[in-house]
Each structure stands twice: as structure tokens, then as C-alpha cells.
Structure 1
Amino acid sequence: MPIRSVVFDVGETLVDDSTFWSSWASWVGVPHHTLAALVGAVTALGHDNAEALRLIRPGFDLAAERVARETAGQGESITEKDLYPDVRPALSKLREVGFWVGVAGNQTARAAALLRQLDLPVDGIATSGEWGTAKPESKFFARLIDWAPGRADEIVYVGDHPTNDIVPAKSAGLRAAHLRRGPWGYLWADDQVVKDNADWRVDNLNQLSEALSCQ
């Protein structure tokens, strides 16, 4: 079945999350390496990465803390330097050969606005904060299928996380590409679940754009 649309996750797919986690470490008052180690630990246990913040501050309310950071002028930031080097060339190539290219991930509405300000070579940007549903919920992927051109099996979803990205995308009828990048991508790159569900397994986005461009 020909591919019409390619949709990308955000964190550790397009965006290096180092700035994201460093800003949270500063906010909760711990060294950056401390939070990084805790994120790695909860990742290995299969927990939500926000659990790392709750280990530092029991009862941590992520939504409330986001508001507090905005009020304090320390809200989230996504700039050009946070993009992985292969993002612009890979997305540009996919558009050049005729694919509709989108970005849709578990981010806030503010993150969507920040991504749009970067003028990425994409046709659409959306986040869970705008849609009111988040991965791995089936409603998120149903919304994505309505949003991106093509039937479900003509859409590729690209991400690093098997539970949030690869498995639910395949369950929704999408094609799936696993990116070996970031803690989740590296940890589960050779997991049988990824092998069984990913139509493509790549180390960088240029590999994916090459593979899809040859179809």
C-alpha cells in the first residue's frame, strides 16, 4: 500500500529533550544529572517519565507546576538548537518527493505554538494539549487518522517509544517506524515488541527518508 503521509512524534524524535529536563531540574532544585538519572531509572521500570519529578517532590502536580513556571517567566522553550541535526533535511526530503508531513505528539498547546514558530518543513503540527487526548489512547490515533491525508495504512507514525508510539500506532492500523534515539529508543531498540510491530527500524531520520523515498 503506498504511503501518503508521514507523521512524527516530538520528544527524542525531532527534539533533543536535554533542555526540557534541565529546565525541570532547575525548577525543582536538583542537579541536572540527578534528574537525568531518575528519568533513566523510571524509564527502565516502564513508568511515566513524570514519575521522576514525583520522586523528588512527592505529590508533584505537573499541570500546576507548568502554570507556576509560566507565571514565573520560566515556561517551556523549544528553539532551533533543540532540534536534532537530521530533522530539517529529512523532513524537507520527504516533502520534496511528495509526502504530506506532520508532527503530532504528547506536548502542550504552548509547545505546538513554539514548534510552529520554528517554521519546520511540515504541512501540519498538532499536540495532545490541543486535541484533548494523549498517546497511547486510541482517541489520539483516531484523531491523527482524521487529520493526516490517507487511510490509516497509508500513514506512517514515527517515534522512539514502543508503548506510546509503535504499538498503539499499529493497533490503530497505521504503519510504524521506530527511531533508535533517546533513552526509550535505545532501551527498546531490539525488544521483540518493537521488532514485531515496527515496519521500519532506523538509527536516524535520514535513513527513514531514504527508505520511504524509494517506495
Structure 2
Amino acid sequence: METIVFDVGETLTRDDGYWASWAEWLGVPHHTMSALVGAVVARGLDNAEALRLLRPGVDIEAEYAAREASGLGEQLDEEDLYGDVRPALSALRELGIRVVIAGNQTSRAGELLRALELPADLVVMSGELGVAKPDPRFFARVLETSGAVAHETLYVGDHPKNDVYPARRAGLRTAHLRRGPWGFLWADDPDVVAAADWSIDSLTELVGIVKV
């Protein structure tokens, strides 16, 4: 294994601040937004459907642009990172592993992540690649951009449909992270267990996996 690619939301970063900001923008209580996100997750839908439940017919891209223009757009800082992120990524790089961060995020999120100066060789988002998971072209673009080889690359993420399944179909090895609503909800699903080469509770477990 030469390269490990990390998903972002609920793998490296907590999503509660993200959804709280949307709740405030749409004028609903935080717990309402959280409940709706949980509901669409349980139904296997894209999490953006939570916004459409609150405001049917909403143009999400237009709303996002309006938030940015108002100064209430995306924010990401050290407090949004899970506690195991820096230690795990640093340890992996010390072992000679190429560390890549690539998730379904906007170009703005990519800028914010790079500003955090994480111990990573490459940070690139779907908004920058022009294609998003679970499209197989996302993984092809990540491999091309990073110079990695599929069978020598591990993709780590919490979401079976966006991370584990499509990464496996693209020829990468996979690790399912039991973290966040998606990770916990499908942690013991037989299909997820069968598709993932490893199931982990913390990113620090990857160090032991690499050393084996």
C-alpha cells in the first residue's frame, strides 16, 4: 500500500457545524435540521434532500451562492477536525505513505482545508475535479491527479454508497470508518462488511494496518 485517500465529511471533519449553518440560514432549529438529515440518511438518500424537505424546489447552488455573498458561507477551522486526524496523517506520512484528501466538497472547502496545513501530500475536492462520488470518474481523477495506482491505494470513508462501494468498484482497497450517522448506521450491514477490506473505529488504526 503506497497511498491512502481520505474522504472529508465525517471522516476528517465534523458535519454538525455545516448543518447548523444551513439551519440558521433557512430559519429552522438546529435539531430540526439534524433530524431531517438523519431521516434522509436512514432512507439511503443524498443528504441534500434534507434541504429540499425544508424548502421544496430549492435551488441549492443558488442558496449556496447567496450565503457566500452575504458573508455566511462555508467555514472550516481546527475545531471542525476530529481529534485523530493530525496524529494519524502525520504517522502515516512518517511511514512513507502518500496521504491524499479527496471528498465531495466545494472548491471553497478545498481552500479552507489547505489553509489548515494538514499533513497531506494533496488536497483536492470534487468541486475542483469537476466530478463527484459515487461517479467512477471521481476515483479515476483522484488517481490521475495524485499519481497513485488503484491496487496500491486505500480509500477511507464513512459512507458506503459514496465511499466503500464505488472505491472498490474502481479497483481501490477500502476501509469503512464507523463515524458519523452514515458510518454507524451501516457499520454492521453485511454488504458493507463484505465490501470493505477493513472496518475501523479510528484513523489511528490505519497505522497498524500499514505496518502489517
TM range (shorter): over 0.9
Q: TM-score, normalised by structure 2?
A: 0.98
Identity percentage over the alignment?
59
Displacement of 1:61 in angstroms is 1.3
Instruction: Find the counterpart in structure 2 of residue 167 from structure 1.
Output: 165
Amino acid at match of 2:18: F
Instruction: Find the counterpart in structure 2 of residue 9 from structure 1.
Output: 7
SS in 1 for 2:44: coil
SS in 1 for 2:204: helix
Q: TM-score, normalised by structure 1?
A: 0.97
Instruction: Find the counterpart in structure 2 of residue 208 from structure 1.
Output: 206
Amino acid at match of 2:208: E
Q: Give, in whole Å, the separation in 2 of the partners of 1:86 and 1:210.
A: 14
The two structures, once aligned, show a CA RMSD in angstroms of 0.8
Q: Give, in whole Å, the separation in 1 of the partners of 2:61 and 2:79.
A: 26
Q: Contact between 1:100 and 1:149, CA under 8 Å: does it hold in 2?
A: no
Instruction: Find the counterpart in structure 2 of residue 120 from structure 1.
Output: 118
SS in 1 for 2:123: strand
Displacement of 1:29 in angstroms is 0.4
2:17 counterpart of 1:30: no
SS in 2 for 1:205: coil
Runs of 4+ in structure 1 off by over 6 angstroms are none
2:90 counterpart of 1:79: no
Q: Deviations for 1:43-102, whole angstroms, at most 9, x for unmatched residues? A: 000011111111110111111111000111001011000000000000000000000001
Q: Deviations for 1:135-186, whole angstroms, at most 9, x for unmatched residues? A: 0001101111212343201000000000000000000000001000000000
Q: How many residues align?
A: 212
Instruction: Find the counterpart in structure 2 of residue 111 from structure 1.
Output: 109
Q: Contact between 1:175 and 1:199, CA under 8 Å: does it hold in 2?
A: yes
Amino acid at match of 2:148: G
Q: Any gaps of 5 or more consecutive residues in structure 2? A: none
Instruction: Find the counterpart in structure 2 of residue 152 from structure 1.
Output: 150
SS in 2 for 1:169: helix
